């Protein structure tokens, strides 16, 4: 620990505390009470888990989505003699993200729902640990500009982007300057994102037609929420990460490659113009990138066991199969198109995945819905938040129509 970091306990708001990233974040925070205070926790509807977290961590604030849940949570915490102040609604999320006493925001709300609170944190100049890739994918350069103008510091938490950050040694990441010629000024030739391949890596395409939501969510390496698990199974998660890497490290899509690495030990690689290639390796446990992001520029303990490379024995790599997993190509196309295309991609994907999880759509129909919506979209520049929200809403309407048409055949 540096002398500077020891001067003040950092107040952390964990946005999305009941999800897998939030739970892992709280685990790491609990290991360092001398460095961090859990200042605020937020959840959508998982009030029971949020109540348990409030009893354990005693935050100043807790936020839920609905007023009825806020009333129930307040009563439960009063009975437990916990004086956490309970807020509810989207505006409350933004209020916490901007709160004067909040130093660090863990942005872990899944999907488009996390956009406005993460943007609020950027405008307020917070230290943002970015786990919500969808917020960045949707708003693109608008988000990066908000971070720069607000003086925010962005530290990626996705294991792949955190690995790139580590391989670049954090150059250009302070004071919101991430994304400002980050890769180009440091001799970076390309970055390579690794993908586990998900649960269907060796499954024939025809067999994918009948897979169930539970099968799609049974990830071989990571424990994640259902939406991100389906994204991993379709490789859309890697596509969203490709777009995110372009924005975070100011690289064109042509300098971001994807390789399948089933062991999930190498989390990403950076190749430099001198021929050097640096990789970050660790066990597949999100507490490693979370601890790195929380402690940066220091290193703090994560609770993750050491990587035994002798027992591991081998590391395998192969190209992704774009015919079986077309979502990755759809994402690359959206990255190259820019403007509103990534927001449309993300919205159509969220609708299609929700439909699949509700058994209204087959697994193989997910990329078809997304591709159809993108084909109907006329890409526009993103100059304001309204541009993003309008593209998002349009894409959701189009995707819902496409799902309704497909659902009749699926039924």
How far is residue 147's CA from residue 119's CA, in Å, rounded to a whole number? 8
- The confidence score (pLDDT) of residue 184 equals 54
- The confidence score (pLDDT) of residue 173 equals 45
Put the strands of the sheet holding 36-42 in their side by side order. 85-88, 61-64, 36-42, 10-15, 104-107, 127-130, 153-156
- The confidence score (pLDDT) of residue 409 equals 56
How do the pLDDT tens digits run along the chain, 411 residues long? 444 445 589 999 999 999 999 999 999 999 999 999 999 999 998 999 999 999 999 999 999 999 999 999 999 999 999 999 999 999 999 999 999 999 999 999 988 888 999 999 999 999 999 998 888 999 988 999 999 999 999 999 999 999 999 999 865 443 344 544 455 567 999 999 999 998 888 888 888 988 999 998 887 776 677 888 899 999 999 999 999 999 999 999 999 999 999 999 999 999 999 999 999 999 999 999 999 999 999 999 999 999 999 999 999 999 999 999 999 999 999 999 999 999 999 999 999 999 999 999 999 999 999 999 999 999 999 999 999 999 999 999 999 999 999 875 544
Query: Contact at 8 Å (CB) between 225 and 244?
Result: no
How far is residue 336's CA from residue 351's CA, in Å, rounded to a whole number? 22
Pair of tokens at residue 165 = 């950050």
CATH 1.10.1740.10 domain residues, the chain: 338-411
Kindly report the number of other CB atoms within 10 A of residue 275's CB atom: 7
Q: Which H or E element spans position 256? A: strand 256-260
Return the C-alpha torsion angle 260, 185, 150, 256, nearest 10.
-20
- The topology under which CATH files domain 10-151 is Rossmann fold (3.40.50)
- The confidence score (pLDDT) of residue 174 equals 39
Contacts of 374-379 with CB under 8 Å at 24 or more apart are 374/330, 374/333, 374/334, 374/341, 374/344, 374/345, 374/348, 377/340, 377/341, 377/344, 379/337, 379/338, 379/339, 379/340, 379/341
How far is residue 294's CA from residue 288's CA, in Å, rounded to a whole number? 10
Kindly report the CA angle at 135 between 134 and 137, in degrees rounded to 5?
Answer: 60
CATH 3.40.50.720 domain residues, the chain: 10-151
Q: Under CATH, which number does the domain 338-411 receive?
A: 1.10.1740.10
Pair of tokens at residue 197 = 């391949």
């Amino acid at each position: 620990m540096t002398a500077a970091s020891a001067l003040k306990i950092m107040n952390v708001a964990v946005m999305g505390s009941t999800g897998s990233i939030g739970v892992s974040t709280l685990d790491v925070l609990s290991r360092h009470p001398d460095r961090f205070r859990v200042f605020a926790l937020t959840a959508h509807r998982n009030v029971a888990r949020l109540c348990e977290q409030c009893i354990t961590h005693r935050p100043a604030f807790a936020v839920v989505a609905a007023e009825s849940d806020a009333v129930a949570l307040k009563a439960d915490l009063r009975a437990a003699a916990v004086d956490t102040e309970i807020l509810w609604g989207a505006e409350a999320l933004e209020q916490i993200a901007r709160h004067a006493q909040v130093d660090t925001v863990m942005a872990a709300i899944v999907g488009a729902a996390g956009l406005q609170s993460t943007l609020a944190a950027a405008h307020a100049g917070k230290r943002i640990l970015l786990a919500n890739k969808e917020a960045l994918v949707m708003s693109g350069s608008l988000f990066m500009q908000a971070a720069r103008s607000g003086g925010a510091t962005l530290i990626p938490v996705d294991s792949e982007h955190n690995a790139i950050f580590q391989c670049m040694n954090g150059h250009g990441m302070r004071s919101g300057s991430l994304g400002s010629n980050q890769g180009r000024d440091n001799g970076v030739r390309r970055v390579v994102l690794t993908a586990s391949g998900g649960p269907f890596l060796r499954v024939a395409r025809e067999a994918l037609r009948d897979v169930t939501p539970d099968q799609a969510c049974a990830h071989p390496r990571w424990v994640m929420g259902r939406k991100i698990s389906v994204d991993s199974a379709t490789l859309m998660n890697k596509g969203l990460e490709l777009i995110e890497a372009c924005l975070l490290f100011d690289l064109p899509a042509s300098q971001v490659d994807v390789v399948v690495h089933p062991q999930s030990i190498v989390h990403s690689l950076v190749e430099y113009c001198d021929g050097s290639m640096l990789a970050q390796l660790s066990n597949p446990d999100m507490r490693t990138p979370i601890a790195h992001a929380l402690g940066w520029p220091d290193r703090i303990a994560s609770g993750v066991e050491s990587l035994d490379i002798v027992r591991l024995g081998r590391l395998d790599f192969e190209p992704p199969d774009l015919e079986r997993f077309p979502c990755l190509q759809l994402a690359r196309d959206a990255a190259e198109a820019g403007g509103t295309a990534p927001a449309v991609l993300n919205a159509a994907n969220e609708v299609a995945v929700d439909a699949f999880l509700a058994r209204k759509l087959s697994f193989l129909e997910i990329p078809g819905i997304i591709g159809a919506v993108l084909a109907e979209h006329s890409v526009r520049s993103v100059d304001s938040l309204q541009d993003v929200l309008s593209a998002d809403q349009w894409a959701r309407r189009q995707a819902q129509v496409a799902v309704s048409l497909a659902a009749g055949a699926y039924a």
